[in-house]
Structure 1
Amino acid sequence: MRKRQIITGTIAASLVLYACKKEKQDPTYNPTAATVEVPAYVKTYVGEVPIPADNAMTAEGIELGRKLFYEKMLSDNSTMSCASCHKQENAFDDPRPFSEGTHGAFGDRNAMAIVNAAWDKHFFWDGRRASLEGQAHDPVSNPIEMANKWPEVVKRLQNSEEYPDLFFKAFGTSTIDSTLVTKAIAQFERTLVSFNSPFDKYYYKGDSAALTQQEKNGFMLFTGKAMCNNCHLTNTLFTDREIKNNGLDENPKDPGLMKFTGNAADRGKFKVPTLRNIGVTAPYMHDSRFATLEEVVDFYSSKVKQNSPNLDEHMPDFGSGINLTQQEKTELIAFLKSLTDKEFITNPKFSDPNN
């Protein structure tokens, strides 16, 4: 009798183990459709969050992308993730002038903030990529950054305990490839929307007390004398999403867009970044030449190089300089800092899921 009980128990345990193993091997593909919620006024100005036809948003895809964004296995020596150079507290920017790669090398351009990037048309400072999926691809194989090879990344993820199931739940296949990795990361990055700054509360939500008088004065300068909104449109995105030469140098050392197109007419042109959360994304410009907003405002006030090649058509409006007074500079900077969305830079939905 005792022997029969042991045999029966063993069979039952085996069946349970088999069922668990089968469940792990054959997870249910039942993705949950997801949307990125934004305020109605955003939709009025720039429409819904753009979603590619071949990368529909799902809860599973977003969560997988979030996990991959913080995954250090993407780098050659497993010490670096996307988040290593795109830190949430800095609006997914890097506070260092240039990001350090896995082997101690430094890039030659400042990392860009990832804020409302779903609406962008160009990615990287030189605009060489046209989608978030394309943007997510390059750093992994860049020899200065993550210095890895995509086949190695795929091998690591495929051999992991959890990723095959996560990819199945997100995309309906446990076979991982670089396309699915970048699609997942792009889904997560499309959720990084920021529209809850003090300025939003004042201008779009009608809270007259959300800005100080100094900040309100700065807003009037932004849209008036300082002409900042020529390129940084007050269309909720605070960028026209174009690539332009803003007159930094008479003889640009970095060719900018020209490096990608080979067209001399593109020399010195760089992506116009959003000004949202600009107060936490120092240093500034593609080469991090300005450490503070004060330096940025000084430049636009009186130091734009009018004979810079391919100078944007809006820049000549500055003539010999708009020459802001010290009080005006202080007011303008106060307004720029009112574009900081504290909820965005602390939102736990965007943080490392492993913490």
Structure 2
Amino acid sequence: MGLLSVSLLLVWGCSSPNESNPEVSFTVPANFPEPVYPFERNPMTTAGVELGKALFNEPLLSRDNTFACAECHSQPYGFTHHGHDVSHGINNLMGTRNSLPLQNLAWESSFFWDGGVFDLDLVPIAPITNEVELGENTKNVLDKLRATKKYPLLFKKAFGSEEITTERFLKAFSQFMLTLVSANSRYDKFIRKEGENLTADEQAGLKLFEQKCSSCHQGALFTDHSFRNNGLFIQGVKDVGRARVTELEKDKYTFRVPSLRNVAVTGPYMHDGRFYTLEAVLDHYAEGVQDTQNLDPLLRQNNTRGIALTSQERQQIVAFLKTLTDEEFLKNKRFAAE
């Protein structure tokens, strides 16, 4: 599989690896860079990952005990809210943004469309406390978990005692999310020379992608982790993107450059889910880029907006993008609710 093991170190306040709770070896795919998550502060264990998965699928995290994180992050669709332009929360309340995929999180140092959270260990707090998502607070969540028979035992297995704290809750959550590594698409196997071949159209699409798209969707992760304005029509739109976090004029209407891994199954697309097909996305870049405030310079070359793409080139790029679908990841039973 071309994978390299990364050893993890035991430090204070973390899971306690032992014979009954062995350490989980995190692996870095051979064609990936080194991860940025600080594993030394939160070594992964079998029981820690098991607890994190249970929490990810636990409706007690919501105010009315009906809605789990897995509702908006469904595995067969790259852990997104399939078919919804923006995510729905408790009482069918509508969010304001499209649900991003959960994958390869060990390589991320900021999260959400505006980068408003800078640490994976803090990510669950945002949806839990958002009034149109889970609508709860961490104190109530922990109290509800303490009142069950199930969770004190799971916390004891993972951390050595039944004490349920915010730190333990968040670290177990991270341990599960860190296991969500997608690196076995047809493209990966082609790149690693593992017996996979791409069709003529797919290879043509790869070359076009490298020429026209890879400035932003770079490397093995298919993102440069930046925030950019890609010329979406914004009249009447109240979402100012990253400027909501930074309060900087230059960040208005800029949003995360998402990874394109599993992009064929993670639609709809853009921060507000306005495009339902990959073809529509490429039509936007070829014909629909607007002269908006802070438009990324890459989309304004030689007094021309957008990316020049013929109809055939768009079809070939779509063919290539479909090779980024990782069926093993989408069907891996280790990630599924039990």
Q: Structure 1 length as normaliser, TM-score?
A: 0.85
Q: Which residue of the partner structure matches residue 12 of structure 2?
A: none
Pick closer, same or farther for the CA change 1:126–1:320 going to 2, 3 Å.
Answer: closer
1:112 alignment counterpart: 100
1-structure distance, mates of 2:314, 2:99: 26
Say yes or no: does 1:278 pair with 2:266.
no
Shift of 1:317: 3.5
How many angstroms does 1:147 deviate by?
1.2
8 Å CA contact 1:32, 1:58 repeated in 2: yes
- Which has the greater radius of gyration? 1
Alignment of 1:216-231 (within 5 A): 216-224=203-211, 227-231=212-216
Deviates more, 1:312-321 or 1:31-40: 312-321
Aligned to 1:74: 61
Alignment partner of 1:159 out of 144, 147, 156? 147
Q: CA deviation at 1:182?
A: 1.8
Alignment counterpart, residue 88 of structure 2, candidates 100, 103, 111: 100
Moved more, 53-62 or 90-99: 53-62
State the SS of the aligned residue for 1:254: coil
Secondary structure of 1:166's aligned partner: helix
8 Å contact from structure 1 (residues 244, 312) kept in 2: yes
Aligned-pair distance for 1:259? 0.8
Match of 1:339 among 321, 324, 333: 324
Shift in Å at residue 49 of structure 1?
6.3
User: Does structure 1 retain, via aligned residues, the 8 Å contact 2:113–2:256?
Assistant: yes
User: Aligned partners of 1:193 and 1:66: how far apart in 2?
Assistant: 14
More helix by share: 1
Q: Select the residue among 43, 47, 51 that pairs with 2:34.
A: 47
Deviation at 1:327?
Answer: 1.2
Q: Secondary structure at 2:41's aligned position in 1?
A: coil
User: Residues 83-98 of structure 1 correspond to what in structure 2 (within 5 A)?
Assistant: 83-95=70-82, 96-98=84-86
Is the CA contact 1:198–1:341 (under 8 Å) kept in the aligned structure 2? yes
RMSD, matched Cα:
1.8
Q: Which amino acid aligns with 1:40?
A: A
SS of equivalent to 1:125: coil
Q: Write the letter of the residue equivalent to 2:292.
A: S
Partners of 1:29 and 1:172 within 8 A in 2: no
> What is the CA–CA distance in structure 2 between the aligned matches of 1:277 and 1:215, rounded to whole Å?
15
SS in 2 for 1:133: helix
Listed as ranges, the gaps of 5+ residues in structure 2 are 1-15
| C-alpha distance after superposition, 1:198-223 (max 9, x if no partner) | 1111122253x531111111101101
Checking the alignment, whether the CA contact within 8 Å between 1:244 and 1:272 is kept in structure 2 is yes
CA distance in 2, matches of 1:173, 1:246: 49
SS at match of 1:230: coil
How far, CA to CA, are the matches of 1:117 and 1:220 in structure 2? 27
Distance in 2 between the 1:178 and 1:99 partners?
Answer: 25
Q: Which amino acid aligns with 2:187?
A: F
1:349 aligns with 2:337: no
Instruction: Report if aligned partners of 2:75, 2:331 keep a CA contact under 8 Å in 1.
Output: yes
Cα displacement string for residues 113-138 of structure 1 (whole angstroms, at most 9, x for unaligned residues): 00112111211111100122211111
* Pairing partner for 1:247 from 223, 231, 247: 231
Instruction: Answer whether contact 2:17 2:45 (CA < 8 A) is retained.
Output: no
- Partner residue, 2:13: none
Aligned residues: 318
After TM superposition, the structure 1 = structure 2 runs for residues 262-277 of structure 1, keeping only pairs within 5 Å, are 262-277=247-262
Conserved in 2, the CA contact under 8 Å of 1:255 and 1:267?
A: yes
Aligned to 1:232: 217
- Judge conservation of contact 2:90–2:132 (CA < 8 Å) in 1: yes
- Residue 250 of structure 1: CA displacement? 5.8
Read off the aligned partner of 2:215 and give its amino acid letter: N
The alpha-carbon distance between structure 1 residues 241 and 157, as it changes in their structure 2 partners (threshold 3 A), is: same
- Give TM-score, length-normalised by structure 2: 0.89
Match of 1:310 in 2: 294
- Equivalent residue for 1:214, pick from 184, 189, 201: 201
CA contact (8 A) 1:29 1:169 kept: no
1:256 is aligned to 241
2:36/2:108 contact within 8 Å kept: no
Structure 1 unmatched runs, 5+: 1-27
**Residues 320/270 of structure 1: CA separation in 2 closer, same or farther (3 Å cut):** closer
Structure 1 pair 320–143 and aligned structure 2 pair: CA distance change class (3 A): closer
Q: 1:135-183, CA deviations, whole angstroms, 9 ceiling, x for partnerless residues?
A: 1111112111111122211111111112112112212332212332121
Q: CA deviation at 1:29?
A: 7.6
Q: In structure 2, what is the equivalent of residue 65 of structure 1? A: 52
Q: Is the 8 A contact 1:122 1:242 kept in 2?
A: no
Match of 1:292 in 2: 277
| Residues 157-166 or 279-288, more deviating | 157-166
Partner Cα distance (2:266, 2:144) in 1: 33
State the alpha-carbon separation in 1 of the partners of residues 282 and 78 from structure 2. 21
